[in-house]
Amino acid sequence: MTIDEEITPLPQSVRYCIIGAGIHGLSTAWHLAKELKAAGKGSGADILVIDKSHIGAGASGIACGVVRNNYFQPAMRELMAHSVSIWESDPEAFAYHPVGYMQISHAGMRDDVASIYEQQQAIGYPSTFIEGADECDAYMLGLFDDWRATGITSVLHEHKGGFAFNQASLDGLEAKARAEGVKIIGHAEVRDLTIEGGAVTAVVTNRGTISCDHVVVGSGPWVPHFWRMLGLPESTDILVDGETVNVPTWKYWALQEGTLQVEPGMLADNDGNVPPVIHIDTDVPLHDDAGNLLVDEPWGIYYKPDFNFGGIQGGYMPSKVDKPFDEVAVDPYGEASPDFVVNDDFRLIWASALSFCHGRFEGLAPKMSVEPSGGIGAFTPDSFPVIDTFLGNAHVIADSNHGYKMIGVGALVAKEIMGEVQDLLEPFRYSRYAEGKLHPLSNSPYPWS
C-alpha cells in the first residue's frame, strides 16, 4: 500500500532516517539496505524514509524524465555515466526508455560540444559527433524528413540515455526498497532537526520525534529548509581568480516545462520508432507561425514523445526568480507559488520552437496544455550539486535541479554512509567554493549545462 493511502505510525527511533521519498531518498534507501546486508551490519529494517506527503509528491513526480550525459563539466559527465548504468540495470522496473539523446547546436557552442564528445570517448560513453551545417541537416533529415531548423552546425548524438516515466520509476524504486525491508512512511512533515554534541540526534516531525544515528536529506527544491535546520551558512565564500567573493548560498529559477497535447506518436522518426530526446540550442531569432518575433537571443528547448504526459513534452530555458528565501521556498511545487509556474509566453515560445524544428508542428500552438507545470528549482552558487556530509552524520543531497536523472547518487551516498569515500562525489563537496575548485562553465543558455 503506497504511503498516501495509509498513515502508518512513526517509530520512535531508527538507525537511518531518510527525508524525502523522491529519486534520491528512495535510491539511497534501496542501495543502503543492500550495503548493510552485504556487510552483515544490518538490513532494510534499519532504514526509514519519510515524506511530508507521498512518493513523488515533489520535484521527482513532475520531472521531465530526461536521462542524459550531455555535460560540459567532466565531473558531471562521469557522475551521469554512473547514473545511466543504474537506469540500464532494470529498464522495466524504472520505466526507462533507452532511446538516446541529441544535443543540436549553433556555432557558438561548437567547441563546448566537441569537448563533451572527446571526453565521452575517453570514458567509453558511446556517441557520434557531426559537424558542418550541411552534414547536420543531412543527419537530421535522415531521422526526421520534416526537419527544418536553421543555424545548426553540430550534432552530438548520445547513443545511451533517453527518458523515463517519473512516477512509474519511483514506484519501481519503492518496490525495490520495500523488498529489502525499508519502511516508507508519508504524511510526516519535518519541523526541525535536533542537534546535540555536534551531530543530528533526532528528526522532529508533525507526528512525533524520531531518534536516529544518521540522517539523509534528499528533499529536492526544499533543501534550503534543511540547510537552515543544520545551521549551515546562508551565504557562501567563493574563491575566484585569487579573490574571495560572498554570494547567497541559494538562488531560484522557475522551470519552464509543458506538453503539446497531440498523439505522442506524432514525433516518431522516419522508421516509425520513438526517436532520441532532442535538445536544440540556436542563435537564430525565433518567430511564431505568423512571423511575429518572439526571441532574439540564443535560446534552447528539449522535447520528446511521452505517453506518460500524453503528448510531446519538454521544456525551455528557466527564468530567474528574484524573491527572498521565505517567499520562494515555502512550497515550490504547491499552491503557494502560482506566479512561478509555466505561463502563456512559454507556451507560445515552446510551440513555435517545435514548429521551427519540424514542419509537422506548424499551427499547433493552440494545443499546448494549460495545466500548471514546471516549478521552482533551488540552485547552489554555481548551479551544480552539493553532495556532502555535515555535522558528522547528516548526508545532504542538494541536487541543484539535476536530480531526477541522477538515480545513481543514492548508491554513492549509501557507500559513503558505510565509510567508503566515493571519488565521483569529491568534486561536489561544499568545500569546493572556498577552495576555488569550481566546475567549468559552458556557452549554453541553460545555467546547469
Question: Which residues, other chains included, contact 117 with Cβ-Cβ below 8 Å and sequence gap of 6+?
Answer: 127, 129, 156
Helix (H) and strand (E) counts in the chain = 11, 23
C-alpha cell, 87: 537506469
Q: Alpha helices, DSSP H only, in 208-343?
A: 223-229, 325-328
Does 443 fall in a domain? no
Residues 275 and 375 in one domain: yes
393 and 412 together in one domain: yes
Q: For every one of its 449 residues, what pLDDT tens digit does the chain have, with 9 covering 90 and above?
A: 455 445 788 999 999 999 999 999 999 999 999 999 999 999 999 999 999 999 988 888 878 889 888 887 889 989 999 999 999 999 999 999 999 999 999 999 999 999 999 999 998 999 999 999 999 999 999 999 999 999 999 999 999 999 999 899 999 999 999 999 999 999 999 999 999 999 999 999 999 999 999 999 999 989 999 999 999 999 999 999 999 999 999 988 888 888 999 999 999 999 999 999 999 999 999 999 999 999 999 999 999 998 877 899 999 887 777 765 555 554 444 433 434 444 668 899 999 999 999 999 999 999 998 876 667 788 999 999 999 999 999 999 999 888 889 999 999 999 999 999 999 999 999 999 999 999 877 666 665 66
- Alpha-carbon distance of 310 to 298, in angstroms, equals 29
In a domain, 447, yes or no: no
User: What pLDDT does 445 receive?
Assistant: 63
Does residue 220 lie within any of the structural domains? yes
427 in any annotated domain:
yes
Look at residue 182 and tell me if it is in a domain. yes
Inside any domain, residue 208? yes
Q: 278 and 132 share a domain?
A: yes
Q: Are residues 395 and 287 in the same domain?
A: no
- Number of domains within the chain: 2
Return the C-alpha cell found at 280: 536544440
- Residue 33 DSSP SS3: helix
* 269 and 207 part of one domain: no
What was the pLDDT predicted at 5?
A: 43
Question: Tell me: the pLDDT tens digits for 203-235?
Answer: 999 999 999 999 999 999 899 999 999 999 999
Would you mind telling me the total number of residues written for the chain in this entry? 449
CA distance 336 to 437: 36
CB count within 10 Å of CB 230 equals: 16
pTM over 0.85: yes
CATH, residue 227: 3.50.50.60
Q: Tell whether 66 and 178 lie within a shared domain.
A: yes
In a domain, 440, yes or no: no
H/E/C letters for each residue in 64-89? CCEECCCCCCHHHHHHHHHHHHHHHH
Distance, CA of 68 to CA of 83 (rounded, Å): 9
Please report whether residue 274 resides in a domain: yes
Q: Where residue 325 sits, what CATH number does that domain have?
A: 3.30.9.10
Does the CA dihedral 317-113-297-300 come out positive or negative? Answer: negative
Q: Are 51 and 289 in contact (CB under 8 A)?
A: no
Q: Nearest 5 degrees, angle CA 424-CA 28-CA 123? A: 25
Say yes or no: 171 and 53 in one domain. Answer: yes
What are residue 416's phi and psi, to 5 degrees?
Answer: -70, -35
Same domain, 224 and 300: no
93 and 131 together in one domain = no
How is residue 296 written as a grid cell?
A: 532574439
Beta pairing class for 277-282 and 101-105: parallel
Query: Comparing C-alpha atoms, which of 159, 158, 219 is closest to residue 188?
Result: 219
Residues 257 and 365 occupy one common structural domain:
yes
Distance CA 303, CA 405 (A): 15
Say yes or no: 119 and 38 in one domain.
Answer: no
- Looking at the fold, whether 259 and 318 belong to one and the same domain comes out as yes
Q: Which domain holds residue 224?
A: 1-97+162-233+383-431
- The predicted pLDDT at position 340 comes to 46
